[in-house]
Structure 1
Amino acid sequence: MQGRRKTQEKGVTVQNATLDTSTEQKTQTVAVLDFGAQYGQLIARRIRDLHVYSEILPGTISADELFQRKPDAIVLSGGPASVYEPEAPHIDPAILHANIPLLGFCYGHQSIADALGGSVAHTEKGEYGAARLIKAAHCESALLADTPHEQTVWMSHRDSVQHVPEGFSVTASTDICPVAAMENASMNIYATQFHPEVAHTEFGTQMLKNFLFNIAKLTPAWNMDNIVETLCAQMKQHVGNDRVILALSGGVDSSVVAALGARAIGKQMTCVFINHGLLRKNEPEEVEAVFTQQFDVDFIHVHAEDRYAELLKDVVDPEEKRKRIGTQFWKEFFNVAQQLEGVRYLAQGTIYPDIIESGARKTQGSASTIKSHHNLIPFPDGVHFDLIEPLDHFFKDEVRKLGLALGLPEHIVYRQPFPGPGLAIRIIGAVDAEKLAILKNADAIVREELDAYNKRLYEETGEHNSQHAAWQYFAVLPDVKSVGVMGDERTYARPIIVRAVESSDAMTADWARLPYDVLARISGRIVAEVPGVNRVAYDITSKPPATIEWE
C-alpha cells in the first residue's frame, strides 16, 4: 500500500467511490417513489422482473432533483400515513404536471387525488386482503386493458378517494371502494387503490406490463448479458491501473464481486479469504478451488483457525462471540492489506436492500432506518481505501443471476445463507474442536439431504424457490447431553437440533413441513455417521416468536 496510505487523525473517513452501476440501464429508468411502503422493494423488483431498470427514491423528493435523474416513468408506492395528517409525506405537485407516465398505488393513489383537488376520507369500513374488482362499464382503461371485467385484487386501506380530481375517470370499483382505480390519459397519470405488485392481485403483472410497455412505451432491454458487460466496463474504467482488495467470505455477494473483478480487471484484484475455522464442512476448500482454478485473481488464504480457537476459548455469551470474531476478522484482513503494494480500492458486496434498510442513501422516504449493515468498516488509523460497491443497485435474486452469468458454479450462487460468526453461534455455549467436528459433520448431512430434497422439487416445478422448498436449513448443537442406547449399550451423548424454514425475505419465517421420510433419513444418518450424537430433534418454531438462528 506504499504511496496509497494516508496518515490521518482518528476518525478516518473513507471516500465512497461506488460504481454507478445503472449508467447504461438508465437510458430507460422507472423511479419508484417510496412513501414508507411495506411493498416498496417489491414494486422495484416486479418492474425489474419485466426487464426494465427501476430504482427506489424518497417519496418526498423534489421535482428538480427527480427531473435531474431523467426518469422515463414514475411509480408512487403505498404507505402507512393518511394524506390529511399534519406529518404525512406529500409528493411535489410539479411531478404530477410533468407529463411523465406515472402510476400510483394505495397511498400513492390517494396522494395524487389530494394534490390535484380531489378528496380523500377515512371510511367507516376498511378493506384488507382479497377484494372483487369490477371495471367501469363503457370506460376504456389503458391500465386495465386485457384484464377481465371482474377480477381479484389485493387491498390494504382504511382511507379512500371519495371524489376524483377534475379530468380523471373512475375506471374500477369494489363493493367498499368506489374509486378503486382512476386515470387521466392527457396528464399521463394512472392510479389504483389496490396493489398490482403483489401476487394476490391476479392480473397485476398484466397491469404493470400495460403501464410500462403500452403507456410509457418502454423497452424490456434490461438483461443480465447487458448488465455484465456494463459492470465490467465501468469497473475497468473506474479502477484504471490501481489495485483492488476484497474480503472474500465465500458467500454469494462477495463471490459475485470477486467473479466480476476477475473478468473486469483480473489480477489487479486481490481476494483475501480469512479462514477462522468456523465455516461449514469443506467450504474453505471449495472457495479456494473456485477462485484459484476458475478465476484469474490473486487469492490469499489466511489460516487463522488457531488464533480464533484461542480467542473463543471458554466464551459462552453469543454477543461476546460475535464481537471477538468480528474484531479479529478485520485485524486479520488489514494485516494482509497493509503488506500489499498499490492498493487503492476496497470492494464490498453491499447489495440494494443493504442500502435501503440502512437508510444510508435516504431511499426509504418517510420510513425509519431499520438497521445498519456490515458496510461500516472499522478502518485502523492511517489506512485509507476508496470504497467500491458494484452490486449496490441489485436485489439478491439479481445478484444470483449475475453470478451465474459470470460463470460461478451453482453451489456458490445458491449457497445457504450463513452468519458472519459462522458455526460459533450454532454451537450453544463454548466452542471447542470436538464440538466443531460434531456440528460440521451433522450439518453436512442436513444440507446434503435437504439439497437433494430441494433439487427434486426444482425438477418438478422448475423453480429454485418453490413454495414447498426449504429456504434455509442447518444443524444446531445445544450445550446438553442425553441418555441413549446404541448397540445394547447405554450412551450419554449430545443431541443435534435440525432447523429448516420457509421464507422469502428472512423478515418472517415458518418452519418447513418436511416429509417424514426426509426427516427420518436425516435423523438416521446423523446418529449412525456422527460420533458423539445419540439424538436428533426438529425445531418447529416460526419467526416470530423465534429467530431463524439460535444465537
Structure 2
Amino acid sequence: MESDKKIAVVDFGGQYAHLIASRVRRLGAYTEILSNEDSIEQFKNYAGIIFSGGPSSVYEKDSPKIDPEILNLGIPVLGICYGHQLSTLLMGGKVENSGNAEYGPANIEIKNPKKYEISRGLSNLEKVWMSHGDEVRKLPEGFEVYGSSDSCEFAFVGDDKRKIYGIQFHPEVTHTTHGNILLSNFIRICSVEHSWSVDQFIEREIKIIQEHVSPERKVFLLVSGGVDSTVAYLLLAKALGADRVRGLLVDTGFMRKNEVTDLKLNLKKLGFDLTVRDESEAFYNALVGKVDPEEKRMIVGNLFLDAQARAVSELNLNPKEWLLGQGTIYPDTIESGGTKHSHKIKTHHNRVPAIQALIESGEIIEPLRDLYKDEVRELGTKLGLPSEWTERHPFPGPGLVVRMIATKKDIEANLENEIQSYLQKFNSKIQTRLLPFPSVGVQGDQRTYANCLVLNDFTEDWELLDKIATDATNKFRSINRVVFLPGEINLPVKYLFTELHLNRELSDLLREADSTVFSILHNRNIHNEIWQMPVVMVPCGREVDQFSIVLRPVESNEAMTANFYRMDRAVLNKMKHSIRSISGISDVFFDLTNKPPGTIEWE
C-alpha cells in the first residue's frame, strides 16, 4: 500500500498506541506504528499522524520526544493524552501536573461542534474516558479551545488552519461514547477513507506467511483451543495447506474442567492434525512455592517451549523443517512491554525471553500479531469458523496459573480507616476492608501491584457502585481494585491470609468453581452478554486454611479497556450459593473494577 494512503501512529509507550491503530483500521483507514525516533523522512509521505498516549510526563528529562519539524510538514496531526501534551509543549505551550489525576469517565462540554471539521457530529456534551495525571495549562499561539471538562480546561483543542488537534481523553476506547465519530472526522481530514479492511488483511497476511515459510518448511502451532490459536491455524492452513500445519496442545494441569477432552473432540471436527501432551506434573513441580506473577509467567512460557521441543523429538520431526507458530495478538505484545517505550504490565507466556529470541531469529510465525480480539473473531468468521468458536470467552494461555493468587501484601497502617471515612460521603452504611494480597493493575499506562478494597452489600445500584470504585482507585494509589461481598450487609472484622499452592488439589478446587459459574451462565443464556469472566481463587478467608473466589465478568470489545458487567442479582446469588457449597471456599467476591485501573485478569 502506498505510504500516502496511511496514517502513522507514533508510539510513546502508551497501552493504547496499538489500540488507536487498530481502531482507525476498523474505521476503514490503514495505519502503521512508528517510533518517535524514526526520521522525519519516514513521516513525510503519510496522510496523517497520530501522537499516542504514554506513561511518562513530557517535562521529565528522559521522557520520549519527537522532532518538532514533524508539526510543520503540513500533514494533519492528532495528539492524544501524552501526544496532546507533547505537541502542545513543542509548539510553545505549557504542561504541568494537574494535581487531580483522572482515571475513568468524564463529561466534556463541546463549545461549537459544528464549527470545526474534527468535532462535526459530536454533541454539546460528550462522555469520554480519561487517564492522566498531567494536563495542558497554556495553549500555543493559533490554538482554540473546542471542549473542556470540569477538571480539565484544555481537554479538546486545535488549530484548524494547520489541522493540528489535541485531546486529553481517549477516543479509541469504547468508553468514549462517540470516539469513533472524532476518529472518523480525522480520517476524513486526512483523505484516507476506505483504505483498509479485514478482507485486505487476509490477502496481505497470506502473502507474508508464504514469504516467511519457505516451501520446504512447515509450522508446529501451539494450540490452547481458544479463538486466537484456532483462527491462527485456519489462516496458516489457508496460506500453506493443511498438510503443512500441525497443532500441539499442552495439558498444563491448569486447564478448565474437561477442557482437554472437549478440545480434542472439537478440534478434530475442524480438521486439526493435533498432538496432545500431558505435562501437568512438570508444571506442578516447577511451580512449587512460586508466588510472584511475573516468575509464574516466565516458568509457564519456558515450560511450553520445553514441551514443544520434547514433542518434536518424540514425533521424529526435523527441527530445521519446522517453525513454531503462536496465536499471539496485539495485547500480548503491548502488555509485555513489547514496544520501545511501553511500561510492562505483565509478561505473557508467549513473550518470555526464550521465545523472544526465537522471534528475532525468524523461527516463530505469528499470523495474528497485528490484530485485536474482535478483529480475530471477524477474521475467524470470514475463514468459516462457527459462531460457537468465535464467541468463546478468552482464556489465558497460562490457564488457571494466573487465576490462583498466591502473593501476600501487608496492609498499610490506618489505610482501612482512612478509606472507610472517605467513602462515608456516598452512604453511611458503607463498610470496607482491605484484602491481604495484591493484584496487577494498569493506571496511567503503568503497571501497579496493589491491594484490593472490599465493600459490603449496602446497595443494589450498580451505577453507584461503579462511581465508588472509580473514585476510590483514583483517590488512593494503594488500591487498584474494588470488589463487594454480595448478600453481606456486614463484613468480617478481618480476612486471614492462607498460603495458596499451585498444585493439583487447589487447581481442582478452582476448576470446580469455574465450571459451576459457566454452567449457570449457559443455563441462564447470558454467556454472550459477557466478554470474559475470570473466576479467581484468592489466598484469604474468614478462617485459616480457607480460600475465597472472585467473580470478574467484564464487557469489552478489544480487551485494552473494559467495564465490569452488571449482573442480574438472582444470577449472582445463584453463583454465590453454588460456589460456597464447595468445601474449602469461604467467600465469593464480585469485582467492580473497570480497566483501567484493574487489568481483566488479576495477574
TM range (shorter): 0.7 to 0.9
Answer yes or no: is 1:229 the counterpart of 2:203. yes
Separation (CA, whole Å) in 2 of partners of 1:426 and 1:164: 48
SS in 1 for 2:206: helix
Change over 3 Å in CA distance of 1:377–1:349 after alignment to 2? farther
Specify the alignment match of 2:326 in structure 1: 348
Change over 3 Å in CA distance of 1:203–1:395 after alignment to 2? closer
SS in 2 for 1:330: helix
1:91 to 42, 66, 69: 66
Give the Å deviation of 1:326: 5.3
Answer yes or no: is 1:539 the counterpart of 2:600. no
Specify the alignment match of 1:289 in structure 2: 265
Specify the alignment match of 2:108 in structure 1: 131
Answer yes or no: is 1:250 the counterpart of 2:300. no
Change over 3 Å in CA distance of 1:231–1:171 after alignment to 2? same
Deviations 1:406-452 (A, max 9, x none): 233444434344444544676743634x7666654443231121245
Deviations 1:69-100 (A, max 9, x none): x4331112344656555444433123222222
Answer yes or no: is 1:472 the counterpart of 2:533. yes
1:77 to 37, 52, 58: 52
Separation (CA, whole Å) in 1 of partners of 2:502 and 2:133: 49
Answer yes or no: is 1:448 the counterpart of 2:448. no
2:351 to 375, 379, 387: 375
Deviations 1:137-186 (A, max 9, x none): xx942222344466666665754363533xx352625487379422243x
Specify the alignment match of 2:503 in structure 1: 431
Give the Å deviation of 1:347: 1.4
* Structure 1, 29-38 or 174-183: larger mean CA deviation: 174-183
SS in 2 for 1:240: coil
Answer yes or no: is 1:275 the counterpart of 2:251. yes
Specify the alignment match of 2:41 in structure 1: 64
SS in 1 for 2:21: helix
Equivalenced residue count is 489
Specify the alignment match of 2:442 in structure 1: none
Separation (CA, whole Å) in 2 of partners of 1:511 and 1:148: 26
Answer yes or no: is 1:112 the counterpart of 2:117. no
Give the Å deviation of 1:254: 2.2
Change over 3 Å in CA distance of 1:452–1:33 after alignment to 2? farther
Deviations 1:95-124 (A, max 9, x none): 2222222222344344434434x4336599
Separation (CA, whole Å) in 2 of partners of 1:401 and 1:243: 26
Specify the alignment match of 1:209 in structure 2: 184
Give the Å deviation of 1:262: 1.9
SS in 2 for 1:539: strand
Larger Cα-atom Rg: 1
Specify the alignment match of 1:4 in structure 2: none
SS in 1 for 2:111: strand
SS in 1 for 2:247: strand
Superposition pairs of residues 309-328 of structure 1, within 5 angstroms: 311=285, 315=288, 317-318=290-291, 328=303
Separation (CA, whole Å) in 2 of partners of 1:97 and 1:262: 47
Change over 3 Å in CA distance of 1:334–1:197 after alignment to 2? closer
Specify the alignment match of 2:138 in structure 1: 162
Letter of the 2:521 counterpart: L
Change over 3 Å in CA distance of 1:246–1:204 after alignment to 2? closer
Higher relative contact order (CA 8 A, sep 6+): 1
Superposition pairs of residues 372-411 of structure 1, within 5 angstroms: 372-373=347-348, 374-376=350-352, 378=354, 386-411=363-388
Letter of the 1:540 counterpart: F
Please tell me whether the aligned partners of residues 498 and 536 of structure 1 are also in contact (alpha carbons under 8 angstroms): no
1:499 to 551, 570, 592: 551
Answer yes or no: is 1:46 the counterpart of 2:10. no
Letter of the 2:107 counterpart: A
Separation (CA, whole Å) in 2 of partners of 1:223 and 1:64: 27
Give the Å deviation of 1:509: 8.0
* Structure 1, 322-331 or 387-396: larger mean CA deviation: 322-331
- TM-score in terms of structure 2 length: 0.67
Please tell me whether the aligned partners of residues 551 and 588 of structure 2 are also in contact (alpha carbons under 8 angstroms): yes
Change over 3 Å in CA distance of 1:526–1:157 after alignment to 2? closer
Give the Å deviation of 1:376: 3.0
Give the Å deviation of 1:324: 6.7
Separation (CA, whole Å) in 2 of partners of 1:39 and 1:430: 33
Letter of the 1:177 counterpart: E
Letter of the 2:323 counterpart: Y
Separation (CA, whole Å) in 1 of partners of 2:317 and 2:303: 19
- TM-score in terms of structure 1 length: 0.72
Gaps of 5+ in 2: 405-499
Please tell me whether the aligned partners of residues 196 and 207 of structure 1 are also in contact (alpha carbons under 8 angstroms): yes
Please tell me whether the aligned partners of residues 77 and 164 of structure 2 are also in contact (alpha carbons under 8 angstroms): yes
Specify the alignment match of 2:236 in structure 1: 261
Separation (CA, whole Å) in 2 of partners of 1:210 and 1:33: 19
Separation (CA, whole Å) in 2 of partners of 1:324 and 1:140: 56
Separation (CA, whole Å) in 1 of partners of 2:561 and 2:78: 29
Gaps of 5+ in 1: 1-23, 466-470, 483-492
Please tell me whether the aligned partners of residues 476 and 499 of structure 1 are also in contact (alpha carbons under 8 angstroms): no
